[in-house]
Chains A and B, each alone.
Chain A
Amino acid sequence: MNAKLSKESILGLIAIGIFVGMSLFTPRFFSSSNLSNMMFQLPEFGLIALGMMVVIITGGIDLSITYIAAFSGVGAALMMTNGFGILPAIIVGILFALACGAFNGIVVSRIGVPPILVTLGTMVLFEGVILAITSGNAISGFPDAYSLIGNGYYMGIIPLSLLILLFFIILTGILLNKSTWGRRVYMYGSNDTATLFSGVKNSKVLMKVYLYASLLAAVSAIIMTSRYNSVKVDLGSSYLLQSVAAAVLGGTNIHGGYGKVMGTIYAVLIFQFIRNGLNLMGAHSSLVDVVIGAILIVVLTFNFFSDKFSRKKAENTPEKAA
């Protein structure tokens, strides 16, 4: 028995490798200003990717997640521009998101419509609602204190938003691995019928999954609106497909049943390093998309062949033993 690294640790090593490689070969990558830049960009994407991962573990997908974020951002922004304080604004933003999540959750868990169809519909629906509210305009002009959430430091070094991300990484990890709900999320993802027959109320589990994803979207929205000091209908919409890609690259099984918080976070880091490094090298921004798409396919192709190889090996060993 040689100690075998888990899929996630290998991904972590790849992330470190890319980081070291970029630092060596890209001037200014390993500069303090660039490092802090990346630390500020990470949380918003990381939170959405985590939310997406939780949904994918149940075998679903949430295409409406970035519009939930935008909707929640609009909610918070409207509160602030109408003279309410920061705290009520944040609470309203989170409530807006939870309402969207509850809507997804009800249709998925009670009516049983496939999540990809529900969230495809609600994505258009939420986008429409935001457009109807904002008329497509940006809302801006928030109190100065609000911008601290996305731009402020804790003790002068660590970005506040990064701490928020850390908190939710730990929270998601604990919830998924230690709580009854979390274990049921994995159970549902690997076999929903068996889960139902072992006395689990599937609809409740699913409902909470969509609520949790929308909560993470709301937190991400608060960080984004605070960082940009404005909100528009397309807030974070570029993260939609990227978050699916990050979850899948992180080892989450798109059919459900498997997925680790750290895997997703490593994948988010890899994307961030590549995006940032390529930008510094002066590569065309659309080439970054090409690279991310290619990585996704290459890694999964590699997985397929390594699975095949190890299966062959496993088939051969018993014969030899006999």
Chain B
Amino acid sequence: MKLLLKQKEFSVLAIILIITVILSFVSPVFLTVQNWLDIIEGNTVIGILAIGMTLIIITSDIDVSVAALTTAVTVSIGYLFQFLPDNWSSVVLIFLIAPLIGMLLGAFNGLLVSRIKIPAIVVTLGTLNIFSGLVLYITNGNYINSTNFPDSFLAFSNIEMAGIPILIYLFALVAFGTWFILKYTLIGRSVLAIGGNAQSSVRVGINFEKVKMFVFSYMGFLGGIAAIAQTSYTSAIDPNGLAGMELTVIAAVVLGGANIHGGRGSIPGTLLGVLLLAIMQNGMILARIDVFWQNVVTGAIIVIAVSYDEINHRRNQEKLSNIDVKEAS
């Protein structure tokens, strides 16, 4: 029990519970199954991207190009739709091609970070400019609506199983898959090892460059899946629709307990971080709080959460060093 209480995820969960209790008094709509399904479905894109970002932040890097990368894939999907037939094979094809495009774009980031050793924030800043600039140049900033979409894709978007929209299953699959990779595969353990201590992990034989390459490519891969989710959720392609979302994604990961120093971070934590941001936004709308105050609350919560985390982290470090001193004397 003590172990559970000490976990970072627990404090996020506690905050979520408190907000839930408050909001369910404020608005009777809040604590309904339909509202929660809406919240989760609406945050599938952020959630999928946040899962990929978790791996990058665990290895103490950052990727600010995610939103631009995802938009680039959505636009590619939009162009592909013109050539795809109107049957189910096009849905399958999209699920093959979109993640592949994303992975290639992510691998480009990964290559520059791992081989050329340019700091990740600089690389992804550059690719953010390149991706979004090209997208706006090609589309001219114009919206592509669903008239060109294959009917099968539109049908896919509307699938519900047991009353739960298909996107939520997709989200769950991504979350579970990534959790599995982190927990049970060699590459996943290497990600955590490099985050924990890059030098020692290289000494025990982990290929640093390969792992960096993996986390950025995997981010791109998930960007491709997020692009499908975005296209299916909005039934349209908006070249500006995701602008600035990278910061929300990073905020969600950080709220979930991943630390930019690296080494810490988990999929459940990130999911809670996404959920916390999501219910806050939803709750503030339901509570009829002025839209303009929502950013103030979100910003304040981010600052408080990271400060609290840092203070806790430092206290633990001090405790550890105390033990060392006592044992030595």
| A interface residues, Cβ below 8 angstroms from B | 61, 63, 107, 111-114, 116-118, 120-129, 131-132, 135-136, 241, 244-245, 248, 254-255, 284, 286-294, 296-297, 300-301, 304
B295 partner residues in chain A, CB cutoff 8 A: 124-125, 127-128, 131
Segment touching A, from B76-84, B110-118, B164-172, B175-183: B110-118
Q: Mark B121-134, 1 if CB is under 8 A from A, else 0.
A: 11101111110111
- A286–B130 CA distance with the chains assembled, in angstroms: 9
Closest Cβ of chain B to A115, distance in Å, is 10
B298 at the interface (CB under 8 A from A): yes
Closest Cβ of chain B to A101, distance in Å, is 14
B interface majority secondary structure = helix
Closest to B64 in A: A241
Q: Mark B192-224, 1 if CB is under 8 A from A, else 0.
A: 000000000000000000000000000000000
Q: Say whether A288 contacts B247, CB under 8 Å.
A: no
Q: Say whether B254 contacts A132, CB under 8 Å.
A: no
Segment touching A, from B95-103, B267-275, B302-310: B302-310
Knowing A290-B133, A293-B129, say if A122 contacts B299 (CB, 8 Å).
Answer: yes
Closest to B136 in A: A286
Q: Say whether B137 contacts A284, CB under 8 Å.
A: yes
Q: Of B129, B292, B303, which one neighbours A241 at CB under 8 angstroms?
A: B129
Knowing A124-B247, A127-B299, A290-B129, say if A112 contacts B306 (CB, 8 Å).
Answer: no
B129 partner residues in chain A, CB cutoff 8 A: 241, 245, 289-290, 292-293, 296
Q: Say whether B299 contacts A128, CB under 8 Å.
A: yes
Give 25 pairs: A residue, B residue, CB < 8 Å, sorted on A. Answer: A61-B121, A111-B311, A114-B260, A114-B261, A116-B62, A117-B260, A118-B303, A118-B306, A120-B250, A120-B254, A121-B299, A125-B295, A131-B295, A135-B292, A241-B64, A241-B129, A244-B122, A284-B137, A293-B130, A294-B126, A296-B122, A297-B127, A300-B116, A301-B118, A304-B117
Closest to B261 in A: A114
A120 partner residues in chain B, CB cutoff 8 A: 247, 250-251, 254, 302
**Size of chain B's interface in residues, with CB distance under 8 A?**
48
Q: Say whether A255 contacts B119, CB under 8 Å.
A: yes
Closest Cβ of chain A to B262, distance in Å, is 11
B296 at the interface (CB under 8 A from A): yes
B327 partner residues in chain A, CB cutoff 8 A: none
Q: Say whether A241 contacts B128, CB under 8 Å.
A: yes
- Give the A-B pair count, Cβ closer than 8 A: 143
Interface residues of B in 64-93 (CB under 8 A from A): 64
B118 partner residues in chain A, CB cutoff 8 A: 297, 300-301, 304
Q: Say whether B137 contacts A287, CB under 8 Å.
A: yes
- A268–B135 CA distance with the chains assembled, in angstroms: 25
A interface majority secondary structure = helix
A290 partner residues in chain B, CB cutoff 8 A: 129-130, 133-134, 137
- A183–B153 CA distance with the chains assembled, in angstroms: 61
Query: Which A-B residue pairs are the 3 nearest by beta carbons?
Result: A125-B299, A128-B295, A293-B129
Q: Say whether A294 contacts B130, CB under 8 Å.
A: yes
B290 at the interface (CB under 8 A from A): yes
Q: Of A118, A123, A136, A287, which one neighbours B247 at CB under 8 angstroms?
A: A123
Q: Say whether B126 contacts A293, CB under 8 Å.
A: yes
Closest Cβ of chain B to A180, distance in Å, is 28
B135 partner residues in chain A, CB cutoff 8 A: 286
- A145–B290 CA distance with the chains assembled, in angstroms: 36
Q: Of A112, A116, A132, A286, which one neighbours B310 at CB under 8 angstroms?
A: A112
Q: Say whether A254 contacts B299, CB under 8 Å.
A: no
Closest to A110 in B: B307
Closest Cβ of chain A to B285, distance in Å, is 15
Q: Say whether B299 contacts A124, CB under 8 Å.
A: yes
- A254–B61 CA distance with the chains assembled, in angstroms: 13
Closest Cβ of chain A to B53, distance in Å, is 13
Most A CB contacts (10 A, CB to CB) among B121, B125, B135, B261 go to B125
Knowing A118-B303, A121-B302, A296-B122, say if A301 contacts B133 (CB, 8 Å).
Answer: no
- A289–B137 CA distance with the chains assembled, in angstroms: 10
Knowing A121-B302, A124-B298, A126-B299, say if A254 contacts B307 (CB, 8 Å).
Answer: no
B303 partner residues in chain A, CB cutoff 8 A: 107, 118, 121-122, 125
Knowing A121-B251, A293-B129, A294-B126, say if A128 contacts B310 (CB, 8 Å).
Answer: no
Closest to B108 in A: A297
Closest Cβ of chain B to A98, distance in Å, is 18
- A291–B311 CA distance with the chains assembled, in angstroms: 42
Most A CB contacts (10 A, CB to CB) among B119, B133, B302 go to B133
Closest to A244 in B: B125
Interface residues of B in 236-253 (CB under 8 A from A): 247, 250-251
- A248–B100 CA distance with the chains assembled, in angstroms: 31
- A246–B123 CA distance with the chains assembled, in angstroms: 13
Q: Say whether B62 contacts A112, CB under 8 Å.
A: no
B302 partner residues in chain A, CB cutoff 8 A: 117, 120-121, 124-125
- A61–B121 CA distance with the chains assembled, in angstroms: 10
- A286–B295 CA distance with the chains assembled, in angstroms: 28
Q: Say whether B293 contacts A132, CB under 8 Å.
A: yes
- A63–B247 CA distance with the chains assembled, in angstroms: 10
Q: Mark B292-325, 1 if CB is under 8 A from A, else 0.
A: 1111111110110011011100100000000000
- A89–B311 CA distance with the chains assembled, in angstroms: 38
Q: Say whether B292 contacts A116, CB under 8 Å.
A: no
B290 partner residues in chain A, CB cutoff 8 A: 132
